[in-house]
Structure 1
Amino acid sequence: MVPRVMSTQHPDNARIPFFAASEVLNGEDEVREAYYVFSHFKCDEQMWDFEGKEADAHIVRKLLSSYYDFFSSRPLGKDFRLTMRVPNPEIEKGEAKLLAETLEMIPRSYDYVRSLGIEHPPIFEVILPMTRSAEEVMKVHAFYRDFVAGKGRFELLGEKVSDWLGDFLPEEIKVIPLFEDRDSLMRAAEISERYAEWAELDELRVFLARSDPAMNYGFVAATIYVKKALYDLSQL
C-alpha cells in the first residue's frame, strides 16, 4: 500500500478540535488525533513528528490499547502508515541523540503488536528532514541496521543479546529523504538514486518540501524547483 494522504501534525485550526481538551494539543490529544485521522478523516498515513517537538514514544501501544478493535483488523504498517520524522544529526546537533532514542521505538513497537498476534511491523520507514546528501540518509539506515536491530547479534557474558531481550525487528528500515532547500531539490534525483542503489531498494518514497522553499525563495521559484525535482526523479 502506497499512502496517498498524510496527516502531518501541523494543524492550523480555526477552533479547538473536537478531540482536543485545550487550545494546545497535549500528548494524549495527539494520540486521539492519530486515531481520528485514520478512522474518520480517511488518511492513509500519520506523520509522528520528533523533529523540534515532543512526541509520544509509546504511540503504537496507546493506539492499540485504546482502539484495539479498529487496528486489529486494519494493522498499522499494512492498512495504515505511522511514519516518524526524526532529527537530522548533521544539522540539529543538539537533538542528535534523539535520533538514536527514536529509532529504538521501532523494534519495541513491533514487539508489542506481535504480543497481540499481529505479525506486521507497525513502523518501517522514517523521514529525514533537511536532507542534503545521500550519506546522511545512508547513515540513518546503517545506524538502525547495525546498532539498533543489529545489537541482537552482540554477545553479553557469553549470551546473545537477542536471546536475552528477544529479536530486534524489522532488521532494516527505509529512510525517506525530505528535500527542503534549493540545492538539495536540484540534486534530489541524484541523492535518491545513490541511496536506493546503496540500500538495494526496489522503490523509494521521496518528499519535496513546499512551505520552506516558498518562504526562502518565493512561491514561483519554489514551484519551479519542485517541478524540476519531480522531472528528474521521473527519469530514474
Structure 2
Amino acid sequence: MDRKIPTTMATQHPDNARAPYWKTNNDPFISTLDEIEECYRTYTDLGCQEYMWDWEGKYVDEGVVDKLFSLYHPYFSENQLGKDVFLTFRLPNIWYEKEYRIARAYIGILTFEELSRDLGLNSPPVFEVILPMTDEAQKMIYLKTTFRKIAKLKSQVFDETTEASDPSYLQVIPLIEGVPQLAASHNILMEYADLHQKEYGSKPSYLRPFIARSDPALNAGFIPATIAAKVALSEYYKFGQESGIAIFPIMGVGSLPFRGGLNPFTVSQFLDEYPGVRTVTLQSAFRYDYPLDSVKEAIHSLNRALPFTKPLTYTEEEIAMGERLAQLFSTIYQETVEEIADAINQISSHIPPRRERKLHIGLFGYSRGIGQKRLPRAISFTGALYSLGVPPELIAIGRGIEAAIKENLEDALFMFCRHLKEDLRHAGHYLNRENLRFFASGNPAWERILEDIIIAEKYFKLELGPVTTEHYLHRNIVSSIYFLTQEEKDISPYLFDAALLRRSLG
C-alpha cells in the first residue's frame, strides 16, 4: 500500500470548555470562519496528521481546500494535502438526513482535485469520506458509485480534456455507532469486500473502519460501549486476516471516561486499553482544555505508538461472554436513563454551544433516544450528568457488577475493561453525593444510582468523591446548579465554570 495512514485525527466535536490557544478574543465558540485556521494549526502547531471536516449536522466552509491553499500555500507546498497530511470529510447520512449537502461535498472534492493539480500539488487532496451510522455495506458502495457518476457528469458537462484521477478513488470509512451495529460490523466489512469485488473487479486494498465510543455509551452505557469497541477491534483484525485486506481501525473518543477517556494525561492507559487502534480522534477538549505543552507531547506520543500496538483478539466464547455482559449492563442502564431523562434534558439545553451546529430535527438531521425519551447528543448528555454531580459512568455500574458475578462473568468483565477501577475513580471525583440524595428523594431511579455507587465502592474498596481543590470546587458549583435549577434561575455561567474544572464540556 503506497499511502501513509494518519494516526491522529483532529475533529470539530464541540466539547471544549476553554477558548482555543490561537484565538485572541478568549471566546470558546469556534465559528465556521475559525475552522480554516484551526485546521491549519492542528497540522502545524500540534502535529496532528488528519483533520475531520464535518458536514454532518453542522455548517461548514465548502471551499476549505481553496482557502487552505490560498492562505497557507508555502506550508502545503512542503506538506502535501492527501499525502503527508489529510483532510477527511464526514458526510451526512442521506438515509437519515436529506441529501442537499452531500452533492455539494462531492463537487467540492472534484474541484479540489482540479485546483491541486493546477497548482502542481498532490492530487487528489481529499479522497476519503466518513459515512456516519453505517449499518449496511450497500450504503458504502452507493457513496462510491454516486460519486463516480457525478465525476463523469462533471467531466462531460464541462468538456474536460485534462486527465483526471479515476473517479472510483473515493474511499469510504464506515463509522459504526451502535452496540448492535458494532457487534455485526464484521459482517458489514465482509459484505463490502464482496460488493467491491463485483463492482470494481477487486477488493479494497485497505479499510479504516471507524468505531464510535460516544453514541454507544449514550445508548447502552459505559461498560457495553467499551466491550463493543473491544470486540469490534478483534473482529476487524480477524476479517483482515481472512480477506487479505489491510485493516487500520479508527476510534472516536472524547476526554472523559464515558466517551472513551483519551486526554493528554491518559495516553499510556488508553494505549493499554485499546491496542490495535491505528487512528484516534483528538476532539476539541483534548486540544484546548489542557496545557499546550502536554497536548503536543501527547500527540507526539500517539503518533509514535499507535502504528505498533499489538491488537487483542477474542475467541468466540469470550465474545459471547462480552455480549452477555453488555446485555446485562445495558438493560439496567437504559431503564434508569429513561426514568431520569427529563432532568438530563433540562440541564443539557443550557450547555453552551461551541460550533455552528444545525438543529437535529425535521429535514436537517436526526436525534438520539432511549425508549420513549429523546436525549441530547453525547457531549450534552455527558455534560448534563457531570453538571448534576452524577457522572454517567456510575449509572448501572453496581447492579451490573452484581449481575455479572451471579452469571460467573466477573473475570470476563475485567478482561474487557482493563482499567475499570481507574476510570471509576476518575469519574467519581466529580460525584456530588448530596445532589444525588436530593434527586433520590423524589425519583427511585436516582436512588438506584446511589445503590450502584455504594455497591461499586464496596467492591473496589474505593471512596468516590472529590479529592483535590479542583474537585471540591466542582462539587460546590454543581450544588449551586442543583439549587438554581429548582428555582428556575440561569445556570449557564455555572455550567461553564464546572466544565473548566473538569477540562471538558462533556
User: Normalising by the residue count of structure 2, what TM-score does the alignment of the two structures yield?
Assistant: 0.43
Match of 1:139 in 2: 142
Tell me how far apart the structure 1 counterparts of residues 131 and 164 of structure 2 sit (CA, whole Å). Answer: 22
Which residue of the partner structure matches residue 27 of structure 1?
32
Q: Percent identity?
A: 39
Q: Deviations over 1:39-69 (max 9, x none)?
A: 0111110000000001111110111111111
Structure 1 residues 1-236: aligned runs within 5 Å: 1-20=4-23, 21=25, 22-92=27-97, 95-146=98-149, 148-152=150-154, 160-161=156-157, 163-164=159-160, 169-172=165-168, 173-199=170-196, 200-236=203-239
Alpha-carbon deviation of 1:166? 5.8
For 2:36 and 2:84, how far apart are their aligned partners in 1? 18
Higher relative contact order (CA 8 A, sep 6+): 2
Deviation sequence 1:48-101 (CA, Å, 0-9, x none): 000000111111011111111111111110001100000111122xx3221122
Letter of the 1:26 partner, please give it: S
Relative distance call for 1:87 and 1:50 in structure 2 (3 A) is same
Moved more, 64-73 or 18-27: 18-27
Q: Deviations over 1:124-172 (max 9, x none)?
A: 01000001111111111111012x212146xxxxxx4352586664512
Distance in 2, Cα, partners of 1:168 & 1:52: 31
Amino acid at match of 1:180: E
SS state at 1:98 partner: helix
Note the C-alpha offset of 1:38: 0.4
Q: Which amino acid aligns with 2:157?
A: V
- In structure 2, stretches of 5+ residues that fail to align are 197-202, 240-506
Decide whether aligned partners of structure 1 residues 141 and 219 sit closer, same or farther in structure 2, where only a CA change above 3 A counts. same
* Cα distance change, pair 69–6 in 1 and its aligned pair in 2 (3 A): same
Alignment-mate amino acid for residue 216 of structure 1: N
**Structure 1 counterpart of 2:185, which letter?**
A
Q: Which has the higher helix share?
A: 2
CA distance in 1 between counterparts of 2:160 and 2:83 reads: 29
SS at match of 1:177: strand
- Give the structure with higher Rg (CA): 2
The CA deviation at 1:17 is: 1.3
Corresponding residue number in structure 1 for 2:277: none
Answer whether contact 1:196 1:204 (CA < 8 A) is retained.
no
Deviates more, 1:123-132 or 1:101-110: 101-110
- How far has the Cα of 1:197 moved from its partner? 3.2
Indicate conservation of the 8 Å contact 2:80/2:122, yes or no.
no
RMSD (Å), alpha carbons: 1.7
Counterpart CA distance in 2 for 1:163 and 1:116 is: 20
Task: Report the secondary structure of 1:103's partner residue.
Answer: helix
In structure 1, the partner of 2:385 is none
Cα distance between partner residues in 1 of 2:189 and 2:215: 20
SS at match of 2:173: strand
Q: Is the 8 A contact 1:121 1:170 kept in 2?
A: no
Q: Residue 235 of structure 1: SS of its match in structure 2?
A: helix
Runs of 5+ consecutive residues of structure 1 not aligned to the other structure? 154-159
Amino acid at match of 2:234: Y
Is the alpha carbon distance of 1:101 and 1:168 closer, same or farther for their aligned partners in structure 2, counting shifts above 3 Å?
Answer: farther
Whichever residue aligns with residue 14 of structure 1, its letter is A
Normalization by structure 1: what TM-score? 0.90
1:15 shift after superposition: 2.1
